[in-house]
Amino acid sequence: MTAPNKQLPAIEGGVPVRKESLPFYRPSVDETDVELVTKTLRSGWLTLGPVTFDLERELARYLGAAHVIAVNSCSAAMFLALKALGVGPGDEVVTSAMTFTSTVTAIIHAGATPVLADIENETFGVAPDELVKRTTPKTRVFMPVHFGGQACRIDEVLDIAGGRGIGVVEDAAHSFGASFDGQKVGTFGDITAFSFYATKNLTTGEGGCLSTAYEELADKLRLLSYHGMSHGSWSRYADRGSWYYEVDVPGYKCNMSDMLSALGLSQLRRVDQLTAGRRDVAQWFAARLEDSPYFELSRVRSGNDHTWHLFVVRLRLDRLTIDRDQFIRALAAENIGCSVHFIPIYRHPYFRAYLDDSESYPVCEDYFSRCVSLPIFPSMQESDVDDVVSAMNRIAAYYSVS
């Protein structure tokens, strides 16, 4: 029996680069996280309470934000932000065509109409000239997306919005800890929404938060996030607390719980360490791939402090005989996990009703056809990166045009 050819891609019968699978992401939870969550479980107070308030204060301190409101998801955060700004039927909100569905469904749930804008090639955020192009008298808010861990061209977005009296709600689901020109994301627009989902740089498992510089908006966000009640459950049920509350608006149930906040508080204390781990992985990838004829690396805009939630490469398809989907299947055969961020919004069946058939998104289309998100998480080792790059090079060489 002939031994498998180690130079062949595994999908063609070769030996996989790895015996054990390397996942796209592995959470970084340590004993300190477990201890603080356990302490909260034993405290007798599990829902919105003192640990959540501690988390909010520490998040505000870290971001340099005046106000932070912890909520149960970034999806809820974006929705609440739009409601707090009074967005509703008859309004339009312009956002990126390259984003996760929740950015756009938040707009729809608020009763407004989503308007999609193409991205630019440096940060993969919304292109400023596209914002100008898509703005109409109905435009109430811009919702730019800070993609992958670096700030979009937020300075230009704010200039365009400010001159037209348009609000800015930032989707910073990927970019907790990122900054532009030394200023943290979360302190630029009217309101910023963050995600603490399992794969994020700081996680609570599920959850998120809102930040704002404006006390009036913060008060509205708190009211809307917890049933529209004038007093939260902690103030009502704590020792010597008051049972009395008033419902001022028909609010929602979007609050963070103390159990999740305990994990977030523990993670926040070492978030810079976790982010440094991601930066190491990104540097290892860049050093090995920067001269490749087959892969185009993402660029970091001058002034941006990138937190590397994602590490995206784009295939040079003109030099390969396979497409992006085939490349991903070949990587999977090598026991390498990866993903795609994202399927453009206009490609999803539901959202087509909101689109003008005459509109085109050429930068999004080019990006989507070629993008691959490689594994990146703080505990990845340099040897793991070597395996990923070996698999990529093996596949690319086998399927090379030349």
Which residue shows structure tokens 């996990």? 337
- pLDDT of 296 > 90? The answer is yes
Please state which CATH number belongs to domain 31-268.
Answer: 3.40.640.10
Q: Hey, what are 258's tokens?
A: 């103390």
What's the confidence (pLDDT) of residue 236? 56
Domain ranges of the chain: 10-22+271-398, 31-268
Give the model confidence (pLDDT) of 58-105 as tens digits: 999 999 999 999 999 999 999 999 999 999 999 999 999 999 999 999
pLDDT the model gives residue 6: 52
Q: Tell me the pLDDT band of 241, cut-offs 50, 70 and 90.
A: low
List Cα–Cα distances, 221 to 67, 68, 171, 192, 252, in angstroms: 10, 10, 16, 12, 10
Residue 372 has pLDDT above 60, yes or no: yes
Query: Would the pLDDT of 339 be above 80?
Result: yes
Q: What is the mean pLDDT of residues 9-38?
A: 97
The residues that bridge with 229 in the sheet, in sequence order, are: 247
Terminal Cα distance for the chain, rounded? 31
Question: Which whole-number Å values give the CA distances from 152 to 99, 110, 233, 259, 382, in the listed order?
Answer: 13, 24, 37, 33, 29
Average pLDDT over residues 384-390: 98
- What percentage of the chain carries pLDDT values higher than 70? 96
pLDDT(253) > 80 = yes
- The residue-averaged pLDDT of 274-299 equals 98
Distance CA 390, CA 384 (A): 10
Mean pLDDT within 55-59: 98
**pTM (predicted TM-score):** 0.96
Please give the pLDDT value at position 7.
84
Q: Confirm if 136 and 294 have CB atoms less than 8 A apart.
A: no
CATH classification code of 10-22+271-398: 3.90.1150.10
Asked if 310 and 149 count as a contact pair (C-beta separation under 8 A), the reply is: yes
Looking at residue 141, its pLDDT comes to 99
CA distances from 125 to 119, 182, 191, 295, 346 (A): 5, 19, 17, 20, 16
- Position 244 confidence tier, pLDDT thresholds 50, 70, 90: confident
pLDDT at 3: 43
Would you please indicate which residues are annotated as catalytic (active-site) residues? 200
Tell me the pLDDT tens digit for each residue of 183-216.
999 999 999 999 999 999 999 999 999 999 999 9
How far apart are alpha carbons 193 and 197 in whole angstroms? 12
Exposure string for 189-218, b = 16+ CB within 10 A, e = fewer: bbbbbbbbbebbbbbbeebbbbbbbeeebb
Q: Is the pLDDT of residue 242 over 90?
A: no
